[in-house]
Amino acid sequence: MVSLVLAGVGGQGIITVANIVGKAALIEGKNALMTELHGMAQRGGKIVVEVRIGDYKSAIIPARSADIMLAFEELEGARNLSKLKESGVILLNRRMIHPVSLTMKIQDYPERIIAEALSKYKTINVEADQIAMNLGNRRVANTAMVGATFSTGLLNLREESLITAIKESLPEKHWDINTKAFEQGKILPAFETAKVA
């Protein structure tokens, strides 16, 4: 039984990631639930997706009980910390999307408050956007996050299941680049964890 919160901003492809994890669970004959909230903005609004694998009926994760947080955007990660349990792990994509309300008032991104909030948890930085950029397609940042999530070992899913789920979720012409993004996402956090430890 494992629960994941995925938080970010509309347009980051978060739902695809959740879908891949859910499908992989199904491939292994496990029950999986996923629920998404994305408000009324088509792009740029806050998004929260919750995924639970195991014998659950509620797709909504109770407060303080998620095992993993996938923060696709830093502020949105911090905003949803109340879902994460104390021993939970944060996979932090180093991406800042400035809320218009701050920009309008000539204010900087609230890096300090975020860093402080995240510091209470075990946080692993994932350069998902960087990986995607290097591979030449910024859209594959998602799949790098899937790789990172896998290598935490908390998902309790097999690599083959995730790869199969990635292929089931995407057209064949994108398989190659997404498998690469998955591979590279996998390596980084292991390295970072070592550093933190």
Partner 1 sequence: MEYDLLLGSEGKIEFLLGNEAVVRGLYEAGVSVAAAYPGTPSSEIGDVLYKLSDRIGIKFEFSTNEKVALEVASAASAGGLRSFVFMKHVGLNVAMDSFVSLSGAGVKGGMVVFSADDPSMHSSQNEQDNRFLGKFARTIVIEPSSPQELKDYIVHAFDISEEVGHPVLIRSVTRISHVRAPVRLGEVKKKNEWKYKKSASLVLLPENAYKAQMSIVNRLEKVRSSKYNAILNSVYGDSSTLIITSGAAYNYIDEALQMLNVKARILKIGLSFPLDQEMILGEVEKAERVIFVEEGGPFLEEQVLSLCAIRSINKKFYGKINGSISTSYEMDVDRVAGFLSEIYGMPFQTKTQNLNLPERAPVLCPGCPHRATYYVAKLAMKQRGIQNAIVPTDIGCYSLGYYEPYQLGDYCFSMGSSIGSSSGFTMEAKERVVSFIGDSTFFHAGIPGLINAYHNDHNFVLVIMDNYVTAMTGGQPTPETTPPFKRVDIESVVRGIGIKNVYSMDPYDLKNSLDTFKKALDSNELAVIISKRECALEVDRKRAPSEAKVFQINQDKCNLCYNCVKNFACAAFYVDEGRVYIDPELCDGCSVCSEPLVCPFNAIEVKP
Is residue 1 a contact residue for partner 1 (CB under 8 A)?
A: no
Residue 56: exposure state from Cβ atoms within 10 A (0-12, 13-18, ≥19): middle
Is residue 117 a contact residue for partner 1 (CB under 8 A)?
A: yes
- Of 41 and 194, the one with the shorter C-beta distance to partner 1 is 41
Contact 25, 157 (CB under 8 A): yes
To the nearest 5 percent, what fractions of the chain are helix, strand and coil?
Answer: 50, 20, 30
- Near partner 1 in 127-156, by CB under 8 A: 129, 138
Question: What are the residues whose beta carbons fall under 8 Å from the beta carbon of 148, sequence distance 6 or more?
Answer: 91, 124, 126, 128, 185, 186, 188, 189
Is residue 92 a contact residue for partner 1 (CB under 8 A)?
A: no
- Sole binder of partner 1 in the list 71, 75, 91, 155 (CB under 8 A): 75
Is residue 78 a contact residue for partner 1 (CB under 8 A)?
A: yes
Residues that bind partner 1 in the complex, under the rule CB under 8 A: 9, 11, 18-19, 22-23, 26, 31-46, 56-60, 62-64, 75-76, 78-79, 81-82, 97-104, 106-110, 113-114, 117, 129, 138
